[in-house]
Amino acid sequence: MKMEFSKQLQATETAIPGVVVYDLPVHGDNRGWFKENWQREKMLALGLPDFTPVQNNISFNEKAGTTRGIHAEPWDKYVSVATGRIFGAWVDLREGPSFGAVFSTELDPSQAIFIPRGVGNAFQTLEDNTAYSYLVNDHWSADAQGQYTFLNLADETADIPWPIPLRDAELSDKDKLHPRLAGVAPMPAKKTLVLGADGQLGKALRKEYDGDTTVEFAGRAEFDLASAASYRDRNWKNYSTIINAAAYTAVDEAQSPQGRSAAWAVNVAAVAQLANVASTHGLTLVHISSDYVFDGSHAEHPEDEPFTPLGVYGQTKAAGDAVVSVVPRHYIVRTSWVIGDGNNFVRTMASLAKRGIKPTVVSDQIGRLSFTADIAAGIRHLLDSQAPFGTYNLSNEGEPQSWADIAADIFELAGSTRNAVTGVSTAEYFKDKAASPRPLNSALDLAKIRAVGFRPSPAADALRGYLNV
């Protein structure tokens, strides 16, 4: 079979999700041939995941008919032929609906294939002195072999059309003993780790991912952000994503010496550790930001507005955002006025209304409520849809309101009257009180997250649902 020269670089999807065949441009003359076997920029432009290979291996096979596999490794692979020809067969051995799907083809030096973690691969050489190379995104170790998943080369369900019958091929004794498909335990998917799982947003994420065994939840008892062991002792190779729902949120206490120290420890130092883990292991890091990174001088804050925090809490959140922004795979989800399962403004106002207490509420701070159910759904949408990495504003929709306006809505929904709420300026409300400065405008521009297909529910509807009215 003569190799084709000067093909265009192109990608072809296969029957197995994530397995992609690449035609490589090969240039030849009377001296031989040359090809770009791996070119990151061009491959990424074609849609190849940026899988950050760390090891390059070469398999040399002296005789035609040498057959290896079917092995599913716990890492991604990019395989290409250096010389000769191979018949390749791939079987999806991952948990999920495509388990058992099969794809096979012949490859020569003008082609390559990307094989995701958990997809079993096997190769049969079709010419003597055939060599193929593969890039992998984890270092091989003897311990890693315990994470392999295997399938018998002669499995009747896969029914792979080997060009050289297996009875005439060169096989290892181990490959002959691998189980049939019915006896294969599928390779489990990598996990998502939710930190701060006992907080308001953490509880909403528990509900959002209820029943999903690939999501693991960790409160302070399971993952202590202040402990180096939490980051060191976990096997991060088993994870794909970290959702950091943990934060120091005591805005006023952050102004005190002890609070300042605690805020920087949780919102910056711990975030830096998570960013290091995510960058080192190629994980996606989801981090929750705040309207407090701004001074409130804009009518609606866009994602790329420069940081202008007024108080210590806002300063630590801005610093955390800056740290996360350098992680290659990150989502910074910026929210405002968060309402979830716990003590919060809505529950306080509803309680006052039922007890007939008439509160004084700030009327010159403007923004939108962000209900944790919508934040959790938005985070899941970003991850599931594989939206472009970056920063996304996420609050509920609707006209921005003041805290006093929202309080009046709550009183009305609770069966009281709107005029039971008295508005007051921020300066008057906090006069002679130790308090952090607040942004007077916290409304976030939601155009970017709408553009990737997520529309939060209107704040008014979410408020009624929250109050069960």
- Which amino acid is it at 14? T
Tokens of 118: 């958990």
CA distance 346 to 407: 7
22, 78, 132, 134: the active-site residue: 134
Residue 70 preceded by cis peptide, ω within 30: yes
At how many degrees (to 10) do helices 403-413 and 345-354 cross? 50
Q: CB–CB of 294/318 below 8 Å? A: no
**CA–CA dist 241, 383 (Å, integer):** 9
Question: Which residues fall within 8 angstroms of residue 175, CB to CB, at 6 or more apart?
Answer: 67, 68, 69, 70, 152, 153
Which among 81, 88, 78 is positioned nearest to 33, based on CA atoms?
81
- What is the rounded distance in angstroms from the CA atom of residue 171 to the CA atom of residue 51? 30
Q: How far is CA 432 from the centre of its chain?
A: 45
> What is the Cα–Cα distance from 302 to 446, expressed in whole angstroms?
8
Per the annotation, the verdict on 71 as an active-site residue is: yes
Query: In the annotation, is 313 catalytic?
Result: no
Q: Which of 314, 312, 316 is nearest to 294 (CA)?
A: 314
Report the DSSP beta bridge partners of residue 86: 107, 125
- Residues serving a catalytic function are 71, 134
